[in-house]
Structure formats: C-alpha cells, structure tokens
Structure 1
Amino acid sequence: MRWRFAPILSILLATLFPRPGNLAPVSSDADAPDRLQSAVREATCAEASPAIFSGKLKGTSLNKVLTDTSAARSVFYVSPDGKDDWSGRLPKANPQRTDGPFASIERARDAARAKGGQNTIAMGNGDYYLAEPVVFDARDAGLVIAARCNEAPVLHGGPLVRKWAIQADGRWTASLKLPPGREVGDLFVGGARQTQARFPNAPRDGDPRKGWLFAAKCPQDDDIWHGNTRFCFHSGDLPISKNAAGLVANIVGGFHPGSQWGSDTLPVVSIDNANSAINTKGTAYFFTAEGSRYFLTGAAALLDAPGEWWYDGAKEQLVYIPSDGLPTSATAVAGILPTFFRLDGARGMVISGLRFRDGDPQGSGKFATDTRGFGAIRLEHADGVRLLGNAIDNVGVGIHVSESKDVVIAGNVIGDVAGNGIYLGTNYGTFLKSHGAKILSNHIHDIGRVYFETAGIWFQAADNVRIAHNLIENVAQFGIAGGSLWGPQDAVHDAVIEHNVIRNANQHTADGGAIKMMGEQADPLNSSIRYNLVTGTGQLMNRADGTFWPPGYENTSEWPSPISWAIYTDGKASGVRIEGNTLSGNITAIGINGGWSNLVTGNVISAGSGAAFRVDDGTGWGWRPPWAGPNRIEDNIVSVDNSNGLAAYVYAPDHKPGSVRFARNRYSGNLNDKSFRINPEIMPSGEFGSLSDLQKAGADIGSIVSHTE
C-alpha cells in the first residue's frame, strides 16, 4: 500500500483542484524494496536456474538490467563447518569427513583464481567472523559470490568475544587481542549494538534532544575560526579534569563556526582547565562554537551505565556493564572492521544474498577519513559490479563506490549505519568518475547515527545515474544528496531521481532535507527529480543555552534559525526539473538556492509548517552565466497549511526578481495578504503581499486561489 500512496494523494488533490499536467504514475508493486529484495535473492542464489532467474525478475525494473550468471560456471562452496584443506567442491562434508566445503571466503577466492574461467562462490548458512577485509582484484573479474538458495550466510566485522569473567562490582571482563592497527569501534551483544562509555549517558528514550553538553563561549579567545581545534566548556560540566588519554568529543558543527550542519568525532589532545577549553585534533573544514552540542567517549571514567563498554588497550581487555538478566553466554561480537569486502579493480563481480553486520562505525566524518571512505562493501575501479539482495546493518558506511562505472545496487536492505547508506563518487585528487550507476529498490533506514552530515544515498562525480524505487527512512540529514561539491571535477549530469519514498529526513541537523542537488560545477545539470513521495522532513537545532527550536519551526525573518526542505537545489545547481512529486507534512516543500533555469512543475504540496517555495540567490551571488534563464514555478497544487499563511519566500537581491517566475499554480488553504514575500520589493504592497499583488508586479501569470469547504 505504501507505494500507491503518492499517486492516490495526487489524484485526490487534483480532483479537488484540477489542473493541467501529468500526475505521478503508479509505481510498480514489483519494484517495492521488500518484494524486489525477495525476488532478486531467489533469482541470484547460487543454485538458481536460468528459468528461475528470468521468472523471478519478470515485470521488475531489473528484468532488462541484470543478466543470468549461472551458465557454465564452476562452484566453490563455503561453510562455517568447512575446512580450508578440503576441495570446496561439495556443499556439505562427505560421510567420511574427508572432503567438503571450504571454511573461508579467502580460500574459495584463491581456488577460483587458480582454476580460472567463470566461477561462483556459494556461501552456506551460518556465521562468519572476519579478522581482516576480504580483498578482490583484477584476477577476480566476473566472480560471483552468492548465498546458497534458502540459506542465510552472515558476515560479522570482527571476532567473537568469549569467556566473560564476572567481577565483584558486577562488570564483565574478557581478554581481546586485536590485529595490528585495529580498534574496537562497537560491541554487539545478543545481536544488539551496545553503547561505548560516554558522558552524558545516552538517553534511554532515544530523544535526540537529550544526552548533550553545550559548548561555552571561550573567555580568552575571540577568534571563532579556532573552533576547528578548540571548544570551551561550562564550569562543572566535565567529569574528567586532566587525563585526556583516549578521550573523543562527539560534537555537532559544520563548515562555518556555529553551524549545525553535521557532526564529527574529534580526538581530544588536552584539557585546559585554566581557560575552560578542550583542545582537539581537527580539520580546516569542520568548526564548532558556543552552543555546539557534544558528548564525550573513550575513557574508563565514563563507564557507569548498563549497556556501556570500554576497551582497555594496555591490558587488551574488554570491560562491559551488562543489562539486568543478561547471561554471560550471550553472543558478543567486537566490531573492528569498517570494510568487509574490498573490490579493487575486480570488474563484473556479483555479490548477492549475503548479510554484513557488526562493523567498526567509521567512514563519514571529516576528520581522518578520505572523501567519504570505508564501506562494508567498498568498490574502487570496479566497473560493472552488481550488489543484489544483500542486508547490511550496524556498520560505518553501507556501500562505498569510487571511480567505478555501470554499477548496479538493487534490492538491498541497509540500516543502522554510522554514516552514509550508499556513497557513489570519486576519490579526492584523482577525480575519476562513476558514470552509469543504477541504485534501485533498496530499503535504507536509520542513517547517520554517528555522522550527521550524511545521506541514505550520496552521489557525485557521476553522469547518467538513476536512483529509483528506493524506500529511505529516518536519516540524520539527507535522504538523497547529489551533485558537485568542488566544481567540474565532481560534476553530475543527466541524473534521474524518481519513484522514491522518503520519510523522516533531516532529523538531526539545522539545515538539510530529503532530496538535495548541488551544482558547484556551474553548468546545467540536465537532471530530474520526479514522482517521489516525501513526508516528515524535519530539523534539529539548539540555541547556545541548550534549548531547542520546536519541531517544524520556520521563521524567514530570523537568522540563525533552522531551515529544512523536502526537495531543494543548492550551490549554483541549475537545469534541474522537479516534477510530479507529492510532498506532505514537511517544513518547506521546495527550495532553489543560487541556481538558474530550474523548473518546478506538477508537484502536489500539503500540510507543511513552512513556505511551499523558497528561492534564495545567496549561494550564487554575483553569478549569472550567459545561458541563465529564470527559475520557473508552474502548474503546482499547493495547500497552504502553516499558521502564517506563507506560500512563497523569494530572497533575490542579487539575481533580481526576474530570476523567478510563477505561473498557473493552484493555491488553497490559509492564504492572506502576506502569503508572498519578495525581496527586493516589487509588489505595490511592499515586501509582503497577496497573490493578486504578486500578479500586479508581473511575477505571476495565471495562478489562482481555490476556496473549498
């Protein structure tokens, strides 16, 4: 039913307020993520026949995208009950237990390399605990790694924790020797992620407004740009006064001091009690300031609540405070790997039906990470790879694709991720492209639990990308974010974002939205955002005193204050067509920031707490290329349901009012004589006016207000 909601709402509102144009077509039920994941797993499991492959995918969007891989392939089997000195050619051990499957993926990979030709690694049911990433390269081109039919292989990103000892104070301890260069990033007990020792303690009810300290104004230093390596604390806030060994600040900040665009994990260098300052390692593009909210992790002194853990590197010992009633026999896994599979030059590989879980939550912070690195599955220069029907959870980044063309990512479930769900793009410095990707029918949820400036799907440096039929829910900032951040070197052209459902985006930042397109390349993107359903896009922003703006808040006369869009363009993004989307229960519905020649048409907007449309020229200040045309907002159905009746806010003192043209929109709801705010003032009524005032100024043609009972 959820996939029919968008067109049904469109049809209902169109019946009330008829208009020209096409409604969002009904999305195929066969492409809904839950159905397609099941179909693709059955179609691509290790023993599936060509007939099963074609039958299961018939009628789906993958029918013409995927090709059968089962013919004329040698099969090597892997099982937790196997042995690496067996042949790997039997799915189960023979009665004499002299032959059977391999025990490790590495051994099966090496056997496939030695044999040559086209090979499949068939993964059997059970748990596999990885000590290091499994690396594939050009020798593995065309290799298929798939679950055996009706079996569920689970790959864990670290070792089992065994032989807990109960101490006198009720804490559990266990010896844990780590491979060189590895750290314990997370602990999982009974399949549930536990909490690294922290202060303040994590709120039991999960309220994102709780469990924070708030940075003070630094008394001895007025240079706000020192906020990349220093922030100050209020007297009495810190439980630790001197020893900063292992301490990490999990803190909200952004590219400008005081912004709340993202978060990072910054190692603490020292605590300066004389100046009430915490000195950290940092970067030149992440800054904090007075009011930045934070908590501390990484020190033994912070271990004080059930469900918390701490790793003592000197003693090679894990310390854990169990929840009441938990037996020491409960399965525990130490997450030490941010990457499980690394494909470097391994073109044409297929990975299907596997589950990846319990990793190290690294990968999308700005400190000590490359671009947006790591990834439970990471591709580098691996063209034509297919990632199908996998489940990825409790990791740093779900899937990371760099400089790899024609990749298909379809039917996967990715959730409870520290950073990005899927990243598609390039490596900073080389800037090779990832053209032709298709990201289809994935269910992506609970994204950005550590690093807020992230997305369910983030893409850059890629032309001809199609992102369709995905269900994305509960993300810290963006549902889908794409486009150029740096200029032509990571440009995006001819992207299509369609038939996606995005619920509850931007749950943890002061500035974000469900779908965003950037355009620092400064040329037309020739891209479309169409037929998507977006609901529940929010914001989270605190004041310096630790209080928060209320949910759904928007005030176009106040700055700084939270800002949030269902769909928006930013950073000179131009030539984007935003068409046929259903946007309900968000703050601002659609925004255009800094670009030209964008078209907003045929969208259905309702139940927003902010303006339906916001246009701002700030990110394109002083920029008007010779091809620039006005941004056009035409043939939309808009129900104005916010308390102040604001339908559109245009702030274009540099681009001038002619940079935005309204036409043939149908408005209803709480409109009044201040429903349109235009700067510079062109309406006879001044900065605020009615639809009639906007039309008298020549900025709107043919729009109407429909009054309904």
Structure 2
Amino acid sequence: MPYRPQLIAIVVLLASSLRAAEPTADVFVAPNGNDAWSGRLAAANADRTDGPLVSLDAARFKVRDIRLQSPDRKSPVTVMFRGGMYRLAMPVAFAAVDSGSGAASPTQYVAYPDETPVLSGGEIIVGWKVQPDGRWSVKLDDVKSGRWNFSQLFVNGQRRMRPRAPKDGYFHIASRVESPNAKPGRGDDRFRFTAGDIRPDWKNLSDVEVISFHPWFTSMLRIDKVDPATRIVSFTGHTRTDAAFGLLSAGMRYLVDNVAEALDEPGEWYLDRPTGVLTYIPMPGETPATATVIAPWLEKLITLEVPAGRTPIESLMFKGLSFAHTNWVTPADGSSISQAAVSVNAAVSIAGARQLEIRDCTFTQLGTYGLEIGRDASDITVADCRFVDLGTGGIKVGTTGIPAKGSNITHRVIVRNNLIAHLGRIHPAAVGVWIGHAADVSVEHNDIYDLYYTGISSGWTWGFRPTKNSGIQIRNNHIHHLGQSVLSDMAGIYTLGASPYSVLEFNRIHDVTRDKYGGWGIYYDEGSAGYASSNNLLYRTQDGGFHQHYGEDNRFENNVILDSTEVAWGPTRLDSSQTPGQVREKPAFYFERNIVSGWGSASVVRPEAAGKLFMDHPELLKVDRNLYWNGGAEPQFKHLSLADWRKLGHDKASVVADPKLGNPDDANFRVPDDSPAVGLGFKPFDISKAGRQNGGPADLDPKRWPRWFPPSTGGPKRIADDFESTPVGSVAEFAQTSEEPPAATLRVTDAVAFEGKRSLKFADAPKLKAAFNPHLYWSPHYRKGVVTAKFALRSDGAAIAHEWRGPGYPYATGPALFLSGSGKLKVGSTELLTVPKGTWMTVEIQCPVGTAAAKYDVRITLADGTMKEVKGLACSPDFKELDWFGFSAAGDRGEAYLDALELQVK
C-alpha cells in the first residue's frame, strides 16, 4: 500500500531539506522504483522500462560499479533518494569497498530536494478490524509463529504506550527477598510486593515485565512466577550487581509493564503473542482508514563497520535522510543495564571508519540509541541532525574500554548543531551525548532536553586509573529539563576520570531535577581530572550548579550559578576510591570568580565541604574571588560562618553583594558591566549563542511529548506496620534491613506481640562485623510539616537505639532515644525512667521538619499506665529533613521487639 504522509509528519516538521533547482545524481532511488532499472532517472519513464532503483543495497552495488569504471574520478558520486518509506528487510552493512575516494570524490547518500526519505526498520500494520467496544484488532501471523515480537508501536508519527500499572505514580517494593541461588556479584531475582500490586492470574504472565528504578539505572525483568501466599514475585533473570544500589530493596519504585488487564486508555496497545492479535485503543479522531500504524522489526538499520586492523571505510556522506522504527525487546532473561544504558545498540553504528559526515539527518521513533561512533573511528562529523523520540539515547562516541593493542582510540569527532530531545522512552538512564574512551571530541551548539538522566556524559574511567582521554570540548550547548525527578546522580554535563585539556564553556544548563539526590549543573565524578569549566550559565539545578565527587586539578571559574533548590555547590571527597582517606597532592579544584546567587538550603555548600577531611586539608580547595548573594543574608558554609570559612583560607577576597542579574531565561542574558562581580575579576560573557544556531525554541508541548515516566513522589507519605501481614521469618516491609545471620537477625515473629499476633524481633549477638547490627530504617523523605511517630518497644535484654537523621553524610541528628538491656531509657541526653524487662512501652514523638534548629516532644507510656512526657528537646542545629528513621541493636546480646509502628507528616 502507498506510504501515508502521517508517518513522516514529525520528520517533515523537523527536517531542513536540501534545495537545488535541477537535482542531478549518479543514482536515484525511489519507493516506487525497481532494482532492475538503471537508477539514472529520478522517476520512471512513460513505459516504465527504466527509472530509479528501489533499495539502498542496490544503490550501493551500483556505486561500486561506477567506482570500478572510473577509478580516478575527482568528483563526488551521489545517490539521491526520493521521499517516502524504504523498508529494510535486514540491516544494510557497508564495507571498505563502499568507500569514497578522498575529499575530492566522496560517496554521498542524500535526499532529493524538499523530500523526506525514511529508512525504516518497521512494517505498516494493515487489516484492522474495529470491535464493538471501539478497539482495533489485527492478527499478525508472524507474531503467532514466533518470528516477530515488538515492544514499540508508532501511530501517525507518535510513540504509543503498552498498558502498565499503576496508571499514576509507582508501586513500591514491600521487602527484599534473597534468592536461594544467590552467588557473589549476582543481583536479586525476586521481591515481596504489596497485596494486589501483582497478580498470578494475569494473561501471558511471562510477557509481563517489571521495571525497577535503581539510583542511576533501571532493571527490566520478566516475571517467572508469582506466589500469592507469600506475595513473592520471581523473575527469569536478575539485577546486574549485588552492590547495594543494584538490589531490589524495600521501598524501591517499580512499574509493571505489558499487563493485558490494564489495557483501558486511549493510545494504549497490547500484543497477545500466543494468538498473534494486536489490540489498540485509538486516540480521539483516529480511524483505521487514515491512521498509519508502524511496528518495528529491526534493531539496527545501517552498520559502517570493519574488523580491527582491516582497511577502513572512508569518505562517505549521509545527508537529509531519516532513520526510523527500530526495535528493542527485553531479553528472555531480563535486562539490567549499566549507567547511561551504554550497552544498548544504535540504529546506525560506525567502527573502523574515517572521514564520514552525517548531516541534516533525522533519527526518530527508535528503540535504541540513534548513532554510535565506536572503535577505530576518526574524523567523523555529525551536524544539523535531529535525534528525537528515541527509546534510549542520542549519540555514543568512543568505547567502554581502553582500545586494545592494534586499535586506535576514537578521535577527532564533531557533534555540532543537533537537536537531541525526547529520549529515554524505554531506557530512562540514557544520555543525550555519551563520550567514552575518546580524544579530541567537540560537542557544540546542540539543543539537548527532555531526558530522564544526564545531558552530556564524558569519560568512562572510575577513579585515578590510566586513560587516553583528552581534548574533550563541550561548548555552547543548551541543556535543560533533565532528570525530571525520575533517577538520581546526574547533571547537565557529567565527567568521569582524567581528561587533560578538556573544556566545558558557554553552556546554558537549567531545570535539572532528580529523585533522591544528585541533580547538578556540572558534575565532576570519580577521578575527574584536567577539566576546566568557565563561562557557563547554570540555574534551577536542584542540588547545585557545580559538584565534584573526587578528582584533582579541575577548574570551575567565571560561571554563574542561580536559583539552586538545595545548596549551590560543593565537593564530596578528596581521596581516591582505591585508597579511601589517602589525600591527593594536587588541589581538588579551583572555584574562583564565580557568581553564586540564590540557594534554598541554610548552607551555600554541601555539608562535606566543611567536614573534617576538608578542614584538615584546606589547601586542596582553591576558593576565592566569588560573589555570593541570597537576598542579603550572609552565606553559611554548613556550620561555619563566612568568617570561620575564611579562616580556612577560602573566599578571602570574595564579597556578599547583589550581582544585578536579570532573567536567566532571557536568550540574551548577560552579567552587566556594573555588577560588583566585575571588580573581583569576573568577565561578563555572551550566552546567547548557546544551543543550535537558528534552531528555534524548545518543543515541550505535553500533548506531543507526554511524560513517559512519572516523577518520583519519594515513597509512601505515611508508614504504618503492625507486621500482621508479613510472613513469619521475613524482614519488615518498606524498610532497609541489615543483619549478620545466623546469630544477629531482624525478622517478624509470632512469639510476642503488642497488638495482634506478630511483631518484629531483634536478636543481637557478640563479635559482629558492625556493632549496630542488626538494624533497619525507613526513608520517608519528609521535608516540611510536623512529623509524628508512634511505636511499641520491648526489651528482653537487648539494647535498642532509635534515631532520626537528615540526608547526606555527615548527617544531622533529630530525635533520639536509647533503651539499655537493663531497661534504662534515655531520650537525647536525659535519662527518663526504667522500663521493666519483658514489658512493652509505647512511644510518641513529635518534631517539625523544614526549619533548622527544631525541637521535639516525647511521651512514654509503660505497661502499668505510668506516663512520662518531655518537651522542647533539641535536635542538631542543622536538622530540618527526615530521610532516615531507624532502629539499631546497640549492645552485643539479648532480644527486643518492635510493634504498632506509625509515621506520618502533616
């Protein structure tokens, strides 16, 4: 059937087409062409005996013939594609024989003027039947036979969603469940869920996928079985690591995808693989007669790859083409992909190639990354392209490992003037531009927005290990609306490892929000070294404009940081990951001549910046000649006043003054020449050129680009557990539990209870690895209001400590109590009363959060009715958020019990 115009509506809208009065080419290709024809005509002749070719593969072979006939040709060989859809039956593999002949005679694959050719890995779905309830259905024999499976669907140029639960927000894991087949390094393959969240009677249960949200990546696991009695769901695979961040822990968010019973909203679809029936609920106004529905077959479209050490592919150009409709299906044993979803393939991949240009092309409606420039690639230019609506990320440059002997590091790559937006629709951890092991890479004048993770990531070496990276230039990019409260530990620009002579400048970065932590503007992560950031405008970045985990000899100078929700800037560590506590000799970074205006915390810096390690080595932080302004209030540096901060040698020449700034959203934003910052040596800079040149405004229309993953709400706002619904012998639900079995455990028991039949039993023991084990805690993330906690506690000889903590480390402490093994109860530093051994007491604590220097009230009631109340107890001066609410066994023997727990904020 003819290719309907709706399919390319998005491409036509975005593309800037080639223009020529009378197009000429060596080879023409058209959707209505014929590979038996000569390809010398742009359209079929009258009697249809000659005309354009119909396929890219046939065009490649035709070019080979031309090169053989004219080996000394000094002009380009041009293949021109007419508009329309070219369905690829398999990926097209270019080889060295397809190369051009130097700069004088490259081979060019280009679009016909004012037309949009689409190289597609998909198939148009036809034969729809409208059911009585308005749903459309069609039987696909290739699906039923097992030849075809897909997890993306595109209707009239827009991505459609499979049915998932819940419809709003997330489910949360009730408790972690260790696998009986656990092995070192292997992650989790099961968890306990809350009743009703997952059902064993769902249709095609093995096709249902659980998407769990770890701090900086996701796991996509297929259900193996569901046990309704224990409420344990098991998977066919496991998460990627047994490190804490890779486990399926209590309270972790998850979605359940591809649930047939959840198919109930317009725009949703479901593929019943056993029957081959595809069902779609149309959007208002859609009809089978006018809709173009496309499902993908291929994961890759084009490869330009040769083995290491072989003759490279060279001198090729692709211009004005569109690459669309690639597949990505969760493997049978699940998927738990590393940071940046870096191992996901790309629709177009390059390796062993040089002198390639990709210009004015569109990568859209893909399940994968758009483009990968990998091993042994050099002199590659990607310019004026659009990477829009992708399941993963935009562009990957370089490799995940240092090239082996005989291979060259990816180098001399230019990524310029591209639109990179609306990404991460399958893998939210994907990034706009990822740079691994590579050198001399320039990323400039790009618009990067609407992602759920980092905008540009540079480097792939953790710690101070050897690397060949150098000369990374990230300039004049407009990067915004990242994270969107879905993942943590991200930034507009993120770096890893050493990269000498690397520059980050004239970038406009804003609106970066995260889940639990780490929404920064510029982030030097583990071992970053040799980076210089200057003349960047960073605003509305949740955790600050600048952060360094640890690294050395980095610079952050002459930048503007505005309106951070939390602190404005700060480091975390000075040491290396290989030798914790060992301090490097070179300065960690230079933070000088910056404007820092507007932050939401009591401290301008992260707490660690004023911690012991930094106070012991102030010479390793070079901080001076900065301007601070927060409405006139003197800045605090955690517990240090500005005067105390200066005693460490920091900010001696800095000032507190109004910088006289305008609206940072103004395209022509500029620090005025009469700003007091200029007197400190700050040099006003022009940020108006950040982003694409003549690119137009960002398209954030929620109707065209709906949110694919909802923002995190931080977990349940009310925590209540009487342990009655938790199986005996299991850990507490929605809490993080740490034990040292078999002697030191923390499990639900039916031997003792305050109410009902069950409680949570602490069993302590001597000679543990950690004296505070066993322990557990909840993460309520309460930021504002009055928090009330109620619980019943009983000691049968064990000592129990209860504490509230703020975020980060070192953390601020809120309410605290300690019950000794002999029954002595202390609240704060006050000894209150003695609780008879083996009897219950109830505790009620009230404490406000949201303001520093909070005070709390405690009421204790014993089993005999004795009541004791204490009011106005002091928290740590900087306690104002409740992120950790926990109980620890604080002795070396005995047992204790917890029951009737309630925690809420109003």
Q: TM-score range by the shorter chain?
A: 0.7 to 0.9
8 Å contact kept, 1:640–1:647:
no
Once the two structures are TM-superposed, the CA of residue 593 in structure 1 deviates from its matched residue by: 1.2
8 Å contact kept, 1:528–1:576:
yes
Structure of higher RCO (CA pairs closer than 8 Å, 6+ residues apart): 1
8 Å contact kept, 2:80–2:112:
yes
Q: What corresponds to 1:54 in structure 2?
A: none
8 Å contact kept, 1:602–1:635:
yes
Once the two structures are TM-superposed, the CA of residue 328 in structure 1 deviates from its matched residue by: 1.4
Q: What corresponds to 2:42 in structure 1?
A: 91
- 1:598-634 deviation line (CA, Å, top 9, x unaligned): 1110001212222221111177353668762341111
Match of 1:42, SS state, is coil
Once the two structures are TM-superposed, the CA of residue 232 in structure 1 deviates from its matched residue by: 2.3
Match of 2:39, SS state, is coil
Once the two structures are TM-superposed, the CA of residue 298 in structure 1 deviates from its matched residue by: 3.3
- What is the aligned counterpart of 1:512 among 471, 490, 494? 490
The answer on 1:526 being equivalent to 2:501 is yes
Match of 2:410, SS state, is coil
Match of 2:459, SS state, is strand
- What is the aligned counterpart of 1:564 among 512, 519, 532? 519
- 1:218-240 deviation line (CA, Å, top 9, x unaligned): 36779998753223211111144
Q: What corresponds to 1:298 in structure 2?
A: 258
Alpha-carbon distance in structure 2 between the residues aligned to 1:441 and 1:311: 39
The answer on 1:597 being equivalent to 2:553 is yes
Q: What corresponds to 1:544 in structure 2?
A: none
Aligned sequence identity (%): 27
Moved more, 178-187 or 318-327: 178-187
- 1:512-537 deviation line (CA, Å, top 9, x unaligned): 11111111xxx453311111111111
Question: What aligned pairs does 1:130-529 form with structure 2 within 5 A after superposition?
Answer: 130-142=88-100, 143-178=107-142, 182-201=148-167, 210-218=168-176, 227-241=187-201, 244-253=205-214, 260-280=215-235, 281-285=237-241, 286-329=246-289, 330-345=291-306, 346-361=313-328, 367=336, 371-395=342-366, 396-403=368-375, 404-426=377-399, 432=407, 433-485=409-461, 491-507=468-484, 508-519=486-497, 523=498, 525-529=500-504
Match of 2:37, SS state, is coil
Alpha-carbon distance in structure 1 between the residues aligned to 2:434 and 2:499: 19
| AA partner of residue 99 (structure 2) | A
Match of 1:464, SS state, is strand
- What is the aligned counterpart of 2:649 among 678, 683, 698? 698
Moved more, 360-369 or 588-597: 360-369
Q: Which structure has the larger Rg?
A: 2
Evaluate the alpha carbon distance shift between residue 84 and residue 620 of structure 1 in structure 2; reply closer, same or farther with a 3 A threshold: same
Once the two structures are TM-superposed, the CA of residue 271 in structure 1 deviates from its matched residue by: 2.2
Alpha-carbon distance in structure 1 between the residues aligned to 2:223 and 2:624: 55
- What is the aligned counterpart of 1:657 among 604, 613, 618? 618
Q: What corresponds to 2:785 in structure 1?
A: none
8 Å contact kept, 2:469–2:499:
no
Match of 1:692, SS state, is helix
Alpha-carbon distance in structure 1 between the residues aligned to 2:200 and 2:264: 14
Alpha-carbon distance in structure 1 between the residues aligned to 2:539 and 2:81: 43
Evaluate the alpha carbon distance shift between residue 631 and residue 333 of structure 1 in structure 2; reply closer, same or farther with a 3 A threshold: same
8 Å contact kept, 2:551–2:588:
no
Alpha-carbon distance in structure 1 between the residues aligned to 2:538 and 2:342: 32
Once the two structures are TM-superposed, the CA of residue 645 in structure 1 deviates from its matched residue by: 5.2
Alpha-carbon distance in structure 2 between the residues aligned to 1:430 and 1:693: 48
Evaluate the alpha carbon distance shift between residue 148 and residue 658 of structure 1 in structure 2; reply closer, same or farther with a 3 A threshold: same
Evaluate the alpha carbon distance shift between residue 220 and residue 537 of structure 1 in structure 2; reply closer, same or farther with a 3 A threshold: closer
Alpha-carbon distance in structure 1 between the residues aligned to 2:112 and 2:634: 65
Match of 1:108, SS state, is helix
Moved more, 601-610 or 277-286: 277-286
Alpha-carbon distance in structure 2 between the residues aligned to 1:351 and 1:149: 14
| AA partner of residue 419 (structure 1) | T
| AA partner of residue 647 (structure 2) | K
Alpha-carbon distance in structure 2 between the residues aligned to 1:275 and 1:38: 54
Match of 1:394, SS state, is strand
8 Å contact kept, 1:232–1:278:
yes
The answer on 1:611 being equivalent to 2:567 is yes
Q: What corresponds to 2:538 in structure 1?
A: 583
Evaluate the alpha carbon distance shift between residue 612 and residue 166 of structure 1 in structure 2; reply closer, same or farther with a 3 A threshold: same
From the two aligned structures, give the one with the greater strand fraction. 2
Moved more, 219-228 or 235-244: 219-228
- 1:338-358 deviation line (CA, Å, top 9, x unaligned): 222221133332111112223
| AA partner of residue 218 (structure 2) | S
Once the two structures are TM-superposed, the CA of residue 639 in structure 1 deviates from its matched residue by: 1.1
Alpha-carbon distance in structure 2 between the residues aligned to 1:630 and 1:95: 73
Match of 2:345, SS state, is coil
Once the two structures are TM-superposed, the CA of residue 427 in structure 1 deviates from its matched residue by: 5.7
Evaluate the alpha carbon distance shift between residue 319 and residue 366 of structure 1 in structure 2; reply closer, same or farther with a 3 A threshold: closer
Once the two structures are TM-superposed, the CA of residue 315 in structure 1 deviates from its matched residue by: 3.1
| AA partner of residue 375 (structure 1) | A
Alpha-carbon distance in structure 2 between the residues aligned to 1:80 and 1:619: 60
8 Å contact kept, 1:663–1:700:
yes
Q: How many residue pairs were aligned?
A: 601
8 Å contact kept, 1:171–1:320:
yes
Moved more, 173-182 or 221-230: 221-230
Moved more, 609-618 or 214-223: 214-223
| AA partner of residue 358 (structure 2) | L
8 Å contact kept, 2:212–2:220:
yes
Moved more, 83-92 or 322-331: 322-331
Alpha-carbon distance in structure 2 between the residues aligned to 1:220 and 1:577: 45
8 Å contact kept, 1:78–1:101:
yes
- 1:345-377 deviation line (CA, Å, top 9, x unaligned): 333321111122232246999647995232122
Question: What aligned pairs does 1:524-563 form with structure 2 within 5 A after superposition?
Answer: 525-539=500-514, 541=515, 561-563=516-518
Q: What corresponds to 2:718 in structure 1?
A: none
Structure 2 gaps of 5+ residues are: 1-10, 101-106, 307-312, 661-906
Once the two structures are TM-superposed, the CA of residue 76 in structure 1 deviates from its matched residue by: 1.1
Once the two structures are TM-superposed, the CA of residue 176 in structure 1 deviates from its matched residue by: 2.6
Match of 1:348, SS state, is strand
Relative to the length of structure 2, the TM-score reads: 0.62
Alpha-carbon distance in structure 2 between the residues aligned to 1:423 and 1:344: 15
8 Å contact kept, 1:185–1:336:
no
Evaluate the alpha carbon distance shift between residue 505 and residue 572 of structure 1 in structure 2; reply closer, same or farther with a 3 A threshold: same
Evaluate the alpha carbon distance shift between residue 386 and residue 177 of structure 1 in structure 2; reply closer, same or farther with a 3 A threshold: farther
Once the two structures are TM-superposed, the CA of residue 442 in structure 1 deviates from its matched residue by: 0.6
8 Å contact kept, 1:264–1:450:
no
Structure 1 gaps of 5+ residues are: 1-33, 50-73, 202-209, 254-259, 542-560, 678-687
8 Å contact kept, 1:418–1:450:
yes
Evaluate the alpha carbon distance shift between residue 42 and residue 166 of structure 1 in structure 2; reply closer, same or farther with a 3 A threshold: closer
Evaluate the alpha carbon distance shift between residue 46 and residue 388 of structure 1 in structure 2; reply closer, same or farther with a 3 A threshold: farther
Q: What corresponds to 1:106 in structure 2?
A: 57
Alpha-carbon distance in structure 2 between the residues aligned to 1:636 and 1:270: 56
Alpha-carbon distance in structure 2 between the residues aligned to 1:367 and 1:648: 31
Evaluate the alpha carbon distance shift between residue 288 and residue 663 of structure 1 in structure 2; reply closer, same or farther with a 3 A threshold: same
Evaluate the alpha carbon distance shift between residue 455 and residue 220 of structure 1 in structure 2; reply closer, same or farther with a 3 A threshold: closer
